[in-house]
Amino acid sequence: MESSRLGIVIKVKNLELCKAFYRDILDLGQPVLDSSFWVEFKISPEASLYLEKAEWDEPVPQTGGKIAWLYKTDKLARIREKLMSYGYSASSACTDKVGFEVCRFADPEGNPFFIAPRL
């Protein structure tokens, strides 16, 4: 397995729930690394999304203090429909302020992310 040059690390309390969310709802597929405390999804040839299990007593940032990330995909409409069907509504209006449609959502633990079309 070739290591990524870039990565996003998200600390989560419920690793199994978040892994299922990113794998099944965001369609990231099977993790390339999957353990009881660390999961890696390849999101591009150079970048990975990592989920790190927080210790039971470890504080994680509240929603307002979390860093958001952008996921560009060819499956924007399908993923957006899937998110909505599972009760994840966009937390802000989908806008095109940056020249393309961008929608803000949050995972089951409130970690924010944006989805946009791959151009």
Domain residues of the chain, as ranges? 6-56+66-117
Mean pLDDT of 36-59: 89
pLDDT for 79 equals: 94
Q: What is the mean pLDDT of the chain?
A: 88
Give Cβ neighbours of residue 62 (< 8 Å, ≥ 6 apart). 110
> What whole-number distance in Å separates Cα of residue 33 and Cα of residue 49?
11
Say yes or no to pLDDT of 1 above 60: no
pLDDT classification of 94: cutoffs 50, 70, 90? confident
User: Which pTM was predicted?
Assistant: 0.86
CATH of domain 6-56+66-117: 3.10.180.10
Encode pLDDT of 2-44 as tens digits.
Answer: 666 889 999 899 999 999 999 999 999 999 999 999 999 999 8
Q: Looking at residue 2, what DSSP letter applies?
A: P
